Amino acid sequence: MQPTKFTQNYDYSEELTSTDVPGSHGAHLDTDIAEIKAVLDAVIDNLAIIQRDDTLLRNAVVHPDSLTTATKALIASDWTPRGLWVTLTAYVVGDVIENSNASYVCAVAHTAGTFATDHTAGKWVVLDSSILTVEKWGIAAGTANAMTVTVTDLESYPSGQLIGVRAVGANSVVAPTINVNGLGAITIVKFGNAALVANDYVTGQELFLRYNTTNTKFELLNPRVAMIADGAVDTTQLADGAVEAAKIETGAVTSTKIAYETVNGCHW
């Protein structure tokens, strides 16, 4: 609902020369000031709906019908990495290039001339570096298996929300949790919905966690201990000489990580 415009109720220049009842001027001022306050309060309330405390737009306030046709077409196009920008090269909508340590996406098909001229003409749109960073970031507190963290402007766990956390310690359980802004402890998983293993994250590691409303869990996107699917390693990959000492991290292979199997009558 939009704020109601203020309409002045009284003409105070006339009241100064009138013979109204003493004290009526103050009452009239009170009326107008009260209505001005109501309008200002409504404006502030509306701003709070669309603007965060850090001055950026609030999440989910921009809807498809707010976008221009050209913007929708750009979003819907397939983005194709093209590497460094090169003059006299034909570019189409959705091509992504690098120039002067920044990334740009092609908004208008063209043959490159001078980059600054093309950019000014709206043929390139800069990709704000902030979209490649994690805005919701904090240093974890609590314990390694039950972390807590405080981040800016997060009042719920929306689907797909990405959180950056510096781990307080190494996890020693398969279902550690994290509680963001006191919204509730959420179990951390990996690879969709797989349980963690010990040391999937360690002290000081920068963790990337994405919330999934389907299983109501945070997925750790960068676990230290990888998962190898059944059948992923075959005899070709284990040919004589295929695994060199230099490829095995010191201490990475322990007796607990070697399964007891029978191969050609031999136990491994």
238 assigned to some structural domain: no
Number of domains in the chain: 3
267 assigned to some structural domain: no
265 assigned to some structural domain: no
Structure tokens given for 63? 């809807």
Residue at a domain's end among 220, 236, 263: 220
State the chain's mean pLDDT as an integer: 80
Does 113 share its domain with 145? no
CA angle at 157 for the pair 154 and 161, rounded to the nearest 5°: 80
pLDDT per residue as tens digits for the range 194-223: 999 999 999 999 999 989 888 999 999 888
Does 159 share its domain with 95? no
Instruction: Give yes or no for residue 100 having a pLDDT over 50.
Output: yes
197 assigned to some structural domain: yes
pLDDT given for residue 180 in this prediction: 95
Residue at a domain's end among 132, 149, 165: 132
Does 28 share its domain with 88? no
C-alpha dihedral sign at 9, 14, 15, 19: negative
- SS3 state at 150: coil
Q: What's the pLDDT band for 126 if we cut at 50, 70, 90? A: confident
166 assigned to some structural domain: yes
187 assigned to some structural domain: yes
pLDDT given for residue 81 in this prediction: 82
Q: In what helix (H) or strand (E) does residue 112 lie, and over which residues does it extend? A: none
CA-atom Rg of the chain in angstroms = 30
Of 48-52, 74-78, 128-132, 141-145, minimum mean pLDDT range: 128-132
Q: What is d(CA 109, CA 121) in angstroms, rounded to the nearest whole number?
A: 12
Percentage of the residues of the chain whose pLDDT score is greater than 90: 31
Does 142 share its domain with 92? no
Looking at the DSSP bridge assignments, the partners of residue 206 are 166
Q: What is d(CA 77, CA 168) in angstroms, rounded to the nearest whole number?
A: 41
Structure tokens given for 11? 């003409």
Does 110 share its domain with 128? yes
Does 148 share its domain with 121? no
Provide the CB-side half-sphere exposure for 167 (13 A, CA): 24
Which CATH number characterizes residue 127's domain? 2.10.10.20
Does 39 share its domain with 74? no
Structure tokens given for 87? 């003059």
Looking at the DSSP bridge assignments, the partners of residue 84 are 98
Q: What is d(CA 170, CA 225) in angstroms, rounded to the nearest whole number?
A: 12
Note the pTM of the prediction, 2 decimals: 0.42
User: Which domain, by its residues, includes 83?
Assistant: 65-132
**Spatial contact of 144 and 169, defined as CB atoms under 8 Å apart:** yes
Does 199 share its domain with 148? yes
248 assigned to some structural domain: no
pLDDT per residue as tens digits for the range 225-239: 655 555 656 666 666
Residue at a domain's end among 116, 132, 148: 132
Does 20 share its domain with 76? no
Q: What's the pLDDT band for 76 if we cut at 50, 70, 90? A: low
Phi/psi of residue 33, each to 5°?
-65, -40
Does 116 share its domain with 141? no
Note the residue count of the chain. Answer: 268
User: Higher model confidence: residue 124 or residue 68?
Assistant: 124
